[in-house]
Structure 1
Amino acid sequence: MNRTTNSDDSSPRIRLLDTVTDAQLRELAAVLADCVEGGASVSFMQPLTEARAQAFWRHVADGVASGERALLVAEDEEGILGTVQVVLALPENQPHRGEVAKMLVHRRARRRGIGALLMKAAEELARERGKTLLVLDTSSADAERLYERSGWVRVGSIPGYALLPQGEPCATTYFYRELNK
């Protein structure tokens, strides 16, 4: 099933991918590489090779195929420009919650509301899958503002939690969102 929202041709489409084609794998790798090149702390250090980026997305595609995670993409006429994942497979004592992971928007598409569209779609998908609580973490002040505007609750920050792609330490802030409210 590929679910599409935002059918207006001028707006990006948000789609749920059940499988990931080789072309989509390359586009997702390009989004990830752009975010890392732009300084995003998203688990990768510079330089991020295309092979490492594609290997990451192959792993995600395996999780999608097994039902462990859901993968949403934002697309325009040029292709994939953003993505977010909802991790669905958590320990058996946490069947009610999911984790939002790797909310990425290509720098060419920022400040167009794509992050908000992706987050809304992730929340809707989680509700459909029976989740009542979502959690996420970020090291981006811009993302923090987006999450707070979207109704997420800031829990707190851990200083020096991760490294930026160039090697400098950065704080990570945790958020949660109750979906039944």
Structure 2
Amino acid sequence: MTDLPHSVHELTPSDLQTHLDDFCRILMDSVEDGAAISFMTTLTKAEAESFWLKDVKPSVERGERRLFGAFVEERLVGTVQLIVGMPPNQPHRAEISKMIVHPDGRRRGLGKALMTAALDTAKGVGKSLVTLDTRTGDVSERLYRSVGFEQAGVIPDYALDPDGKARHATTYMYRHL
């Protein structure tokens, strides 16, 4: 597949509100498509809105989390979060969270662009280590390796698949900046 013409921006809490329907659509459609991002396929629009507005938005407002969006023709089609508010003994570390590209936009360069923006920001705020976890064997592992992440370890039976039928392992990864 060819890359989609796109732009990636760091988003503000008001941007989250402005694009809330797209954030919910990306999350819900991705979970329905099998993405292992902490939610089950029974995810409702109200639950998706609650996640974005009650979990993510306050954390962005406090500066603990940086939120990025990938846009194609001015429509939000992907997002990633960089958690920069870490415990006192980890001021050098950040964490990637909820790397999500809508199923229609996957394998088109959006994930790599989002990860690059997050990693550049992490470096820009003085972080020297970035960590993440992902479902073992997931296609996302290839993306993370392509931007320099290395495997730290695997935990078996870590979480349920979105359909609730099986448990999957998770792979922890890291990257030095």
Aligned partner (choices 42, 50, 57) of residue 55 of structure 1: 50
- SS of structure 1 residue aligned to 2:144: helix
CA offsets, 1:144-172, max 9 Å, x none? 11111211111121111001111121111
Amino acid in the other structure paired with 1:12? H
CA offset digits 1:17-60 (Å, max 9, x no partner): 12234331221111010110001111111211000001101120
Instruction: For residue 78 of structure 1, report the CA deviation from its aligned partner.
Output: 5.6
Per the alignment, do residues 12 and 32 of structure 1 end up closer, same or farther by CA in structure 2, a change over 3 Å counting? Answer: same
**Matching residue of 1:104:** 100
Map 1:110-121 → 2, pairs under 5 A: 110-121=106-117
RMSD (Å) for aligned C-alpha atoms? 1.2
The residue aligned with 1:42 is: 37
- Aligned with residue 27 of structure 1, among 9, 22, 33: 22
For residues 112-138 of structure 1, the C-alpha deviation after alignment (integer angstroms, 9 at most, x for no partner) is: 011111111110010111111000000
Paired with 1:160 and 1:20, the residues of 2 have a C-alpha distance of 38
The aligned amino acid for 2:153 is: G
1:11 is aligned to 2:5: yes
Structure 1 residue 81 corresponds to structure 2 residue 97: no
Partner in structure 2 of residue 166 of structure 1 = 163
Q: Distance in 2 between matches of 1:17 and 1:104?
A: 15
Cα separation, 2, equivalents of 1:108 and 1:78: 15
Match of 1:126 in 2: 122
Counting aligned pairs with the same residue, the percent is 45
Answering whether residue 148 of structure 2 is matched by residue 151 of structure 1, we say yes
Amino acid of the residue matched to residue 175 of structure 2? R
How far apart in 1 are the matches of 2:41 and 2:104? Answer: 20
**Alpha-carbon distance between aligned partners in 2 of 1:88 and 1:25, rounded to the nearest angstrom:** 23
Instruction: Identify which of 121, 138, 142 aligns with 1:141.
Output: 138
Aligned length: 170
Higher relative contact order (CA 8 A, sep 6+): 2
Q: Under a length normalisation based on structure 1, what TM-score does the superposition of the two structures give? A: 0.90
Amino acid at match of 2:64: E
Runs of 5+ unmatched residues, structure 2: none
Q: Distance in 1 between matches of 2:98 and 2:38?
A: 9
Corresponding letter in the other structure for 1:81: V
Unaligned residue ranges in structure 1 (runs of 5+): 1-9
With normalisation by structure 2, the TM-score equals 0.92
